[in-house]
Amino acid sequence: MLLAINSNNTNIKFGLYDGDTERGSWRIGTDTKRTADEYAVWISQLMTLKGMKSADVTQCLIASVVPDTLFNLKMLCRSYFNCDPLIYTDPEVIKGTVAKVDRPEEVGADRLVNTVAAHHLYGGPAIVVDFGTATTFDVVDGDGNYCGGAIAPGINLSIEALRMAAALLPRVAVRRPEKVIGSTTVGCFESGIFWGYVSLIEGLVARIRAEFGQPMKVVATGGLVPLFAEATDIFDHLDQDLTMRGLVIVNRLNRTQ
């Protein structure tokens, strides 16, 4: 089985796959000081609860936008799963897409993997909207190439930044308010955050489509997808596991060469 690891700024996600079938999925907060031994204790217990053991893992693939986590994730794969992992950012690894931008080396691994997944699973041209630490908009052309996009602050990051800068604003959860016009401070804050983000999504998608000049599908991924999908019809496909499914595709591309 494949152990796919996606290391992002907020969480590291581990997915165990038998072919295309997910057998287990787990998250842990990103901590650059966490050792391979700590990862091993944590994930081995979770695998046991699913009726699996470390010997079931025969392949590993790591994609990371946090370079300082790579060493210990590599050691985890080598020491506890007896696998030499594929590292998505390594030059010899087949990326599954071409980054047609001014500085390809600056594009995050997660954005490229999302491009691969969107193209293989849904076709193109497409826009991938990923609700993570940042909210990213990735443009995929009809051939599956990454063509750039946009990056906005993630909604939780925006809430925390505004709350820290304004002494009288309370901490609020991300939820859909019943009304756009708030009648309390909390209501106004919730409305601005939620409906402001809906407008940001719809506005950027419309502008990207107009600039690209072709019909484009919109694929949404990330933990907040269900919440925003109820408030807009801008999304054609909802796929909370898009990045992990992309890692499975990338692994297959590399192992069959």
The predicted-structure confidence for 207-218, as pLDDT tens digits, reads as follows 999 999 999 999
- Residue 120 shares a structural domain with residue 216: yes
- Residue 128 shares a structural domain with residue 35: no
Q: How far is CA 223 from CA 37, 97, 126, 227, 240, in A?
A: 28, 25, 20, 9, 6
133 annotated among ligand-binding-site residues: yes
136 annotated among ligand-binding-site residues: no
The tokens for 35 are 């050792």
- Known catalytic residues are 110
8 annotated among ligand-binding-site residues: yes
Question: How many folded domains does the chain comprise?
Answer: 2
- Residue 156 shares a structural domain with residue 207: yes
In a domain, 95, yes or no: no
What are the residues facing 22 on neighbouring strands? Answer: 17
Average pLDDT over the chain reads 90
- Residue 83 shares a structural domain with residue 123: no
- Residue 136 shares a structural domain with residue 70: no
- Residue 45 shares a structural domain with residue 160: no
Domain residue limits at 19: 2-88
SS3 (DSSP) at 67: helix
In a domain, 25, yes or no: yes
The model's pTM: 0.87
- Residue 204 shares a structural domain with residue 235: yes
10 annotated among ligand-binding-site residues: yes
- Residue 220 shares a structural domain with residue 135: yes
Core vs surface per residue 43-78: b (16+ CB within 10 A) or e: beeebeeeebeeebbebbbbbbbeeebbebbbbbbe
- Residue 231 CA to residue 233 CA, distance in Å, equals 7
Q: Single out the residue in 46, 64, 88 at which a domain terminates.
A: 88
Q: Single out the residue in 46, 63, 88 at which a domain terminates.
A: 88
11 annotated among ligand-binding-site residues: yes
- Residue 117 CA to residue 132 CA, distance in Å, equals 17
In a domain, 157, yes or no: yes
- Residue 143 shares a structural domain with residue 69: no
pLDDT at 167: 56
185 annotated among ligand-binding-site residues: yes
- Residue 61 shares a structural domain with residue 115: no
Core vs surface per residue 3-31: b (16+ CB within 10 A) or e: bbbbbbeeebbbbbbeeeeebbebebebe
Q: Single out the residue in 23, 56, 88 at which a domain terminates.
A: 88
- Residue 128 shares a structural domain with residue 210: yes
Tens-place pLDDT, residues 33-87 = 999 999 999 999 999 998 999 899 999 999 999 999 999 999 999 999 999 999 9
Give me the mean pLDDT over the 226-240 stretch: 90
pLDDT band at 12 (very low <50, low <70, confident <90, very high): very high
CATH number of the domain encompassing residue 239: 3.30.420.40
- Residue 178 shares a structural domain with residue 237: yes
